[in-house]
Each structure stands twice: as C-alpha cells, then as structure tokens.
Amino acid sequence: MFDTLTVKSKFNDYTVEFVDNINKIFEQIEQENYMVFMDANIDRLYPLLRNKNNIIVICTENMKNLQGANIIFNALIEKKCNVNTKLIVIGGGILQDMVGFCASTYYRGINYISIPTTLLSQVDSCIGGKTGLNFKNKKNIIGTFHPPKNIIICQDFLKTLISLDFYNGMGEIYKFHILQNKIKSFSIHGNIKDMIYDGLKYKIDIISRDEFDKGERRFLNFGHTFGHALESSSNYIIPHGIGVVIGSIISIIISKKLEYEIDNYDDIINIGTELIKNSGIKFKKKWFDFDKLIQIVKNDKKSNGKLIMVLINNGPIIEVVENLYDVKESIKEIYEIIEKL
C-alpha cells in the first residue's frame, strides 16, 4: 500500500489514505453523528456497504444541478443534520461535486469525508476542494472551494467500473502525462495504482502553490475548454474525461498550427485517439458543430467572452486564441479522425 499523502490547504490540511480492502473503509472513520451519501451504482454493486440510513443518489450529469442539490439538502434537513454532522460521500466525481457543494453551504459549511469510487475521482476530482453544479447547460458554473476533511481511496472499487468509465478516468491521466511532458511513459496497460498515486502527487504539488486557480493550477484545465463544450453539446453523452481527451487533441492541433514547440506530437494524437476509440461512444457530427461549440465556450465561466485556452509551447501556456479559422480547422481534423474509428 502507498504512504498517506497530505494536501496543504488554506482551509485545513487534509490527507489521502489508501486502504486495500473495502471492508476496512469504515474502520478509518469515527462513527459518530455522520451521514452517508452513496452513488446508486455503489449501493447496487456493494451490498456490504448497505445501511438503512444511507441516502442513495442516482448520479448523472443531468442531476448535478440545483435539482440534485435540492435532494441532498432535503435529506440533510429530514435527518436533522446539524453543524457537527459529518457527511461521507461514496461515489464518483458527480456525487463528490454535488455533496461537496451542499456541505460547503449547509450551515455555512460542514465537514465531509470523500471515498472516491471511479478512476477519474480517485486520480483527480477527490483533491483540490472544488465543488460544482451545472446550471442551464453551463458546466460547473455554480461552485465553491470546500476540501474534504479526509479522503480514503480503495482501488478495489475500480474492478466494477464499466469500460467507458475506465477510459474516462484514463482521460485525466493522459492529460497529466501531456502536461508533464511524459506521454511516452503512458500506457493503458500500465499499473493503475501507480498512475493514481503519481497523478495525485502531481496535482497536490500544483495546488499546494495555487489552491484557488489564480496561476499554475489553470494549466490543469488543459483540454477542458472544448472538453466542457463537447460534454454540453452531446448532452453529456461524452463524459468529462473523454471530453478532456478530445479537448486536449484540439489544443495540441491548434498549438501545432501556431508552430509552437511540442514534443511527441504524434504520440499525443495516437494515444488520445486510442482512448476515444476504446470509450465505445457513438459520436455524432452535430456535436462538433463549430458555431455551437464556440458559443458554449464563450459563455463559459472562465472565458470573459474570449476564447482562452491552455496550449502547449515547450510546456503549458495560457493564451487568448484570436485565430478562429485555426480552431475551426482543428475541430474539423479531430472529427475526421473520430469519424474513421
């Protein structure tokens, strides 16, 4: 097993602990005044975690909004949760974002423990303290910073992931490899535990210097500008991690058109293409409509009406992209690649 990791935070430092067996999860948690929110698929697949007091939440991107938050707030009130109640979240990034948001606002902030169960949530979304809800087709437009008190990772959960969710998580690992200029060492057959540990260490390093997304943490948004837009344009049939892969390829193609310095361009395209193919998604041309995507991107919370992207020029850079012709061509190129898969 891996050593516990510590995340430094302006709120409170918190730890990421690793347990090797699902039975041991609750051994790590003080069993007093707590309430469990559990993803409906975890409830279905892991009967040993069932408890009549658990609140079961069906987790979809279309419920990660005020309607979903309403369900959580109602449960908190019905169960008479107070300022000292500790929430335990057992699920993927969607449940974490929703319950994290509610925990940050209920009684102006109560504690929660995160038990991420998907690859994406174990390697990425469990740390950093961002919570988020979608609103009117705008991704994560409502949100707060509210880190958990503690994170417990058990990789046994990953055994039951469907293939799409495995490749979805791989999407964020792919992004970390590009940002660290080590795409050559990426393999979908690599040791998943090591990839999670390395991904977490990389993200912890960045957020320890920039917790609130003012500087270098914004590099972690690589692939997200068009990734988020594609999630929206496909009505979330393209999940977050696969959106990030496609968005990363769009960024790389634009960087190349701008004649920026990129190592291992072909590997980045080929590996990304393999992940997209393995996702098994049946892509539709209308999701890649340039005008629609640009409209979504310019409405994004981080855009200020401009097209702001993380590109690669001898490492990540943040740039306002003015040449929309290059962007249009890059989207066309990635769609042509996807069409042939």
Ligand X SMILES: NC(=O)c1ccc[n+]([C@@H]2O[C@H](COP(=O)([O-])OP(=O)(O)OC[C@H]3O[C@@H](n4cnc5c(N)ncnc54)[C@H](O)[C@@H]3O)[C@@H](O)[C@H]2O)c1
Which residues bind to ligand X, rule: CB under 6 A?
39, 41-42, 45, 59, 61, 64, 91-95, 97, 117-118, 120-121, 124-125, 128, 130, 132, 140, 157, 160-161, 165, 168, 239-241
Q: Are 248 and 272 in contact (CB under 8 A)?
A: yes
Of 198 and 262, nearer to ligand X (C-beta) is: 198
Of 93 and 272, nearer to ligand X (C-beta) is: 93
Q: Are 218 and 203 in contact (CB under 8 A)?
A: no
Q: Are 334 and 246 in contact (CB under 8 A)?
A: yes
The span from the CA of 340 to the CA of 163, in Å, is 21
- List, in order, residues 6 or more apart from 285 with CB less than 8 Å away: 335, 339
Q: Are 97 and 61 in contact (CB under 8 A)?
A: no
Of 64 and 177, nearer to ligand X (C-beta) is: 64
User: How near is the Cβ of 198 to ligand X at its closest, in Å?
Assistant: 17
User: How near is the Cβ of 143 to ligand X at its closest, in Å?
Assistant: 8
Of 140 and 273, nearer to ligand X (C-beta) is: 140
Residue bearing tokens 């190129």: 333
Is residue 182 classed as helix, strand or coil in its secondary structure? coil
Tokens linked to 139: 């991704």
Give the C-alpha distances (Å, rounded to integers) separating 261 from 121, 182, 317.
31, 15, 11
Of 165 and 198, nearer to ligand X (C-beta) is: 165
Tokens linked to 208: 């320890």
User: How near is the Cβ of 33 to ligand X at its closest, in Å?
Assistant: 25
Element (H, E) at 152: strand 150-154
Tokens linked to 185: 């060492």
Of 199 and 239, nearer to ligand X (C-beta) is: 239
User: How near is the Cβ of 158 to ligand X at its closest, in Å?
Assistant: 6
User: How near is the Cβ of 230 to ligand X at its closest, in Å?
Assistant: 13
User: How near is the Cβ of 247 to ligand X at its closest, in Å?
Assistant: 13
